[in-house]
Structures are given as structure tokens and as C-alpha cells.
């Protein structure tokens, strides 16, 4: 089961680091978070043991 996001602080964290976030989705293990936003990029995030999120990858999807 994916971790539950209880507050806007997660949205604000991801928005500040890249762009305005439109959508977030957990992978099946709940360890990786994918975000997409107004810049058209897809970003993959993982948190460390202290709960600090780090961007692991970013790419622009093609049609």
C-alpha cells in the first residue's frame, strides 16, 4: 500500500523543486512517486530514511 499524503506540504515540496504539480502517483511498492506538472516533464522521486525526497529521474514523454 502506498504511503498516504496527509497534507499540502508534499504538494508544496514537489512544486517548489520543479514546477506546479498536476498529478502524483505511487508505484505498486509505495517506494517511488511519479509527478507531472505544467512543464510537461515526468519526474520520479524517492525518499531517504529521514523522509527527505530526492528526484531520481526526469524525462519528457513523447507522443
**Cα(40)–Cα(14) distance, integer angstroms:** 14
What does the pLDDT read at residue 47?
Answer: 83
Model pTM score: 0.66
Could you write out the DSSP letters of every residue in 18-31? TS-EEEEEE-TTSS
Q: Please give the Cα distance from 58 to 47 (Å, whole number).
A: 16
Host domain of residue 35 = 8-52
Q: Which three cell numbers stand for residue 26?
A: 505511487
Residue 31 falls inside a structural domain: yes
Query: Residue 2: inside a domain, yes or no?
Result: no
In a domain? residue 63 = no
Q: What is the pLDDT of residues 40-51, one digit of tens each?
A: 889 999 988 887
Is residue 35 situated within a structural domain?
yes
Within-domain flag for 60: no
Domain membership flag for residue 23:
yes
42 lies in a domain? yes
Number of domains in the chain: 1
- Residues with Cβ within 8 Å of 10's Cβ and at least 6 positions away in sequence, in order, are 24
17-38 tens-digit pLDDT: 557 788 889 888 888 999 888 8
Amino acid at each position: 500500500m502506498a504511503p498516504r499524503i496527509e497534507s499540502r506540504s508534499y504538494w508544496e515540496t514537489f512544486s517548489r523543486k520543479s514546477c506546479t504539480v498536476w498529478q502524483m502517483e505511487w508505484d505498486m511498492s509505495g517506494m517511488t512517486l511519479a509527478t507531472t506538472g505544467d512543464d510537461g516533464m515526468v519526474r520520479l522521486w524517492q525518499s531517504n530514511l529521514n523522509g527527505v525526497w530526492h528526484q531520481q529521474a526526469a524525462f519528457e514523454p513523447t507522443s
